[in-house]
């Protein structure tokens, strides 16, 4: 059983590496990163996280917190609130799978196209 899990993890890692390499070679990774930044700004995620960082600094005092401590304090909040912008996930699901699925699992948008109104629940963490 453990061997099967190791094999699956190794295969998943290989697939992720292949996708990442193709995205880099095609120049699409930078385009996707820019799109993600734009979407996060549009949905208010960036401003919310910035306000939280200011609150942490105010509560602890500028002289009593390092950049590393601030990052470790706000990272869980940032990751936790990221998926409130569910349509951001739809972009990455489409990018990773080459299509998009609605909440019923119906595939649409073949080729990675995501409709502006698409809503895809997801739990995909994408490191950018």
* pLDDT tens, residue by residue, 23-58: 899 998 898 888 888 888 888 899 999 999 999 999
Q: What backbone phi and psi angles, to 5 degrees, belong to 61?
A: 95, 130
Q: Which domains does the chain have, with CATH numbers?
A: 44-81 (1.10.246.140)
Residue with tokens 């385009």: 31
pTM above threshold 0.85? no
What is the CA angle 56-53-58, rounded to 5? 35
3-state secondary structure (DSSP) of residue 98: coil
Q: How far is CA 70 from CA 46, 54, 61, 83, 122, in A?
A: 15, 10, 11, 21, 28
pLDDT for residue 110: 39
Mind listing the pLDDT tens digit for each residue in 63-88?
Answer: 999 999 999 999 999 888 887 775 65
pLDDT for residue 96: 59
């Amino acid at each position: 059983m453990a061997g099967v899990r190791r094999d699956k993890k190794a295969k998943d890692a290989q697939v992720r590496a292949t996708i990442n390499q193709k995205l880099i070679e095609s120049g699409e990774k930078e385009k996707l990163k820019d799109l993600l930044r734009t979407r996060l700004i549009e949905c208010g995620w960036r401003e919310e996280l910035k306000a939280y960082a200011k609150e942490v600094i105010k509560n602890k005092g500028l002289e009593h917190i390092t950049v590393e401590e601030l990052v470790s304090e706000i990272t869980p909040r940032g990751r936790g609130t990221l998926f409130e912008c569910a349509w951001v996930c739809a972009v990455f699901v489409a990018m990773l799978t080459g299509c998009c699925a609605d909440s019923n699992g119906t595939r649409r948008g073949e080729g990675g196209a995501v409709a502006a109104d698409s809503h895809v629940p997801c739990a995909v963490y994408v490191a950018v």
